Chains A and B, each alone.
Chain A
């Protein structure tokens, strides 16, 4: 690891960066350009984010708060739980003395904003024994926490058993390495059977007991209800954005997706996330009224649906390339909720969740249902072509969003999707969706440089006559 990296605490770096960045909203355009000169590697992220206006400032403020809380956790008597991106963290906010740190978001932020991303941290994980072929999404930020360059982790809790071995395995490694308690929710390969539902509920109750045992804290029912009611509002707002995305041209700026899911996996159930969503909805509604595209140049030439995740390995280069080419980003697997109020869950009962705040038991079952229906835990747990799994979801979403093409981006560490993406792509093609499989790493530009990725995207869109 480069010695200079050891000089800083990762959470502190994020806290400082975001806390300062949120004040840039008060700057004039000239002042902003001047600032950008001094932050050449943060600029590719910051500039397009700031251009989204109000939501950008809330986004920066939210992350400033999130990381500041983590930095001050010990001082404020709070424990820090290491968790994953497809786990809904609102349960942690229902306990007085617990704060979540979501590794993949940290990895993405370093990839988006730092010259070399978190590659030093990734390599550090390998140095201390973690498999070098493991997923880069965890290895990035995880390296910092294992090297003692982030918050002191008190426990590890996540939900990837049965869905993504590589992910669960990484968190298990971290727990063993740090010698802290570990709890992993586990999922059967089926989603909608009564037996599976019972499994989800029992497993989640064990998680609640685990949290209580290791935080010496009881869940406050009123606080839990508040968090879930806030989450309900957030779901509704996200669903409204998704619904408006069906319009042609798509009125949703592509970068909203990354802002939404980054905030969702760190600040679910918190008011600032609601505020950001409200601000986004207001802008998108205005675009709808005026018939405007969410693309900056206003001309939508293609609508692309990302069947898995995005590329964060070189700022928001992918989003910017989409902007340049007039391609509407229709979101990816991480973008949407599977709440029963979502437009695309209509008619498929059992695959969506309902927020029921009647009492403690219904709330815990609700949380179990939510976590069993997070993007990955819901969509890529069973056979890709089983009902309500990856193929079904992708086809129905691509159809309702009017996608012209589908894109797969991931990491070489993803055993799950690399074991069936070729099958999915074939099927999508047979349904008329030109599908591109990118071989790069969403978090690590050493695997494939952005220039190479860009060339391949160009080739795909050109050869398939999509632009």
Chain B
């Protein structure tokens, strides 16, 4: 596994972040894929996706959140309350779901109790639950307000040119990730899902230029690989709640399977999944981040999402799909129920599992279910294509 990506994906304050801070760079954390990272890059600020990977208990977050709540935001609050995010210069919370929305309330309250845990800049981005019309206009205005707030807080100027440059760089990264995605589909297999996934996650935790350089090298290395991965490994597509640790992917792959694609809040969907460089930058970012969203929080657009996922599963030639949701994540929990039905109609085998977030996942139970699913795929010899 690539050491740079592994280090970045498994450490909250990884080497790249430390280096960035040592050079006096600013870092802002964000909670959800509805935040256009290009805006921060245009301000020479490093945006990093907030995670809860090192949280092994919830004694701090339990003081703020109730018990019937998804363990992902609780894990983030736990880490923030433990001082693990003290290196942040700011945080943007957005309303990805009710619980994430309330992270705004919980973190602020915790900041009153535990001094120093609330970053000096704490911002709420109000993302609508619709992709078009007045909702699109609202989001555009939200991004404009966000830009103003960043300019004011960090004494920077975010020009259209800087935004365009940032968009161009991110698109270049997306193109390379798409190359990686294509390599994941090759037979014989050239790369494990955990390897690929750690590279994808690392992209949300490293400065983009550094990431791009390593990603090019990584893809080139994979391309030249001559592998002897067993051809009878079952190809699995992973969908559902946020999954920002590749331990779940590793667990699946320990069951004689390989994860060849995901729809879990990270990565890209297809080769067209990028920001339009010919449009006004804010409009273009809104088109990509809001209108093209595939999150179940955008209610009323299930059919489009299901069609897109089924299309991806077919193109990837996956043998089956594992749909997971973090307990109390009703958005994915329920959508997974609909997807399970529609996969069935399309003769695509699927397994639906519920888990706790990341480090809190009970691996034994999940391993047993995944083992059984892979065994079923093997014995049935089902090929949806």
Contact = CB atoms under 8 A, between A and B. Distances in A.
A385 B105 CA distance: 8
B123 interface: no
Contact of B334 (A129, A195, A385): A129
Contacts of B70: 415
A313 to B, nearest CB: 16
A338 B99 CA distance: 26
A184 B102 contact: no
A171 B341 CA distance: 17
B338 A173 contact: yes
Given A133-B327, A188-B128, A415 B68 contact: yes
A17 B63 CA distance: 45
Nearest to B145: A195
Contact of A165 (B103, B302, B330): B330
Given A162-B129, A419-B106, A176 B138 contact: no
A414 B95 CA distance: 16
Contacts, number: 148
A143 interface: no
Contact of B105 (A130, A161, A172, A383): A383
B69 A131 contact: no
Interface in A98-146: 128-135
A206 B133 CA distance: 10
A203 interface: yes
A423 interface: yes
Given A131-B325, A184-B129, A206-B133, A418 B66 contact: yes
B311 to A, nearest CB: 18
B300 A182 contact: yes
B106 to A, nearest CB: 7
Contact of B299 (A184, A202, A422): A184
Interface string B265-285: 000000000000000000000
Nearest to B138: A199
Contacts of B73: 419
Contacts of A164: 98
A133 B338 contact: no
B330 A161 contact: no
A340 interface: no
A128 B299 contact: no
A420 B299 contact: no
Contacts of A383: 104-105, 108, 124
A168, A186, A190 — most chain B CB neighbours (10 Å) = A186
B65 A134 contact: no
A41 interface: no
Interface in A167-191: 168-173, 175-177, 182-184, 186, 188-190
A439 B130 CA distance: 33
B337 A413 contact: no
A429 interface: no
A166 interface: yes
A173 B334 contact: yes
Main secondary structure of the interface of B (DSSP, over half): helix
Given A165-B297, A419-B99, A202 B334 contact: no
Contacts of A170: 334
B198 to A, nearest CB: 29
A51 interface: no
Contacts of A439: 67
Contacts of B369: none
A131 B302 contact: no
A7 B331 CA distance: 32
B109 A176 contact: no
Interface string B245-289: 000000000000000000000000000000000000000000000
Contact of A419 (B63, B102, B325): B102
B340 interface: yes
Interface string B217-253: 0000000000000000000000000000000000000
Contact of B64 (A168, A195, A198, A422): A422
Contacts of A161: 128-130, 299
A428 interface: no
B300 A173 contact: no
Interface residues of B, number: 50
Given A173-B334, A415-B98, A186 B129 contact: yes
A128 B130 CA distance: 26
A23 interface: no
A415 B99 contact: yes
A176, A188, A206 — most chain B CB neighbours (10 Å) = A176
B69 A419 contact: yes
Contacts of A457: none
Nearest to B65: A419
Contact of A176 (B64, B129, B336, B338): B338
Contacts of A36: none
B337 A129 contact: yes
B331 A165 contact: yes
B129, B303, B334 — most chain A CB neighbours (10 Å) = B334
Contacts of A412: 67-68
Contacts of A188: 126, 128, 138
B296 interface: yes
Contacts of B109: 423, 426
A130 B64 CA distance: 28
B101 interface: yes
A346 interface: no
B101 A189 contact: yes
Contacts of B299: 161, 168-169, 171-172, 182, 184
A32 interface: no
B128 A133 contact: no
A128 B328 contact: no
A384 interface: yes
B135 interface: yes
A379 to B, nearest CB: 14
B134 interface: yes
Contact of B337 (A130, A175, A190): A130
A21 interface: no
A134 B334 contact: yes
Contacts of B331: 165, 169
B141 interface: yes
A129 B165 CA distance: 45
A162 B124 CA distance: 14
B216 interface: no
Interface string A26-58: 000000000000000000000000000000000
A169 B334 contact: yes
B320 interface: no
Given A177-B338, A423-B64, A165 B303 contact: no
Contact of B106 (A135, A165, A416, A423): A423
23 contacts: A128-B341, A129-B338, A131-B325, A133-B333, A134-B330, A135-B330, A161-B130, A164-B98, A170-B334, A172-B302, A173-B338, A175-B300, A184-B129, A186-B135, A206-B133, A383-B104, A383-B108, A384-B102, A415-B69, A416-B101, A416-B102, A418-B68, A419-B106
Which 10 pairs across A and B sit closest by C-beta, in order of nearness?
A: A129-B337, A131-B333, A419-B102, A418-B66, A202-B134, A415-B98, A161-B129, A172-B299, A412-B68, A416-B98
Given A134-B333, A162-B128, A384-B105, 4 more contacts: A415-B330, A419-B103, A419-B106, A423-B64
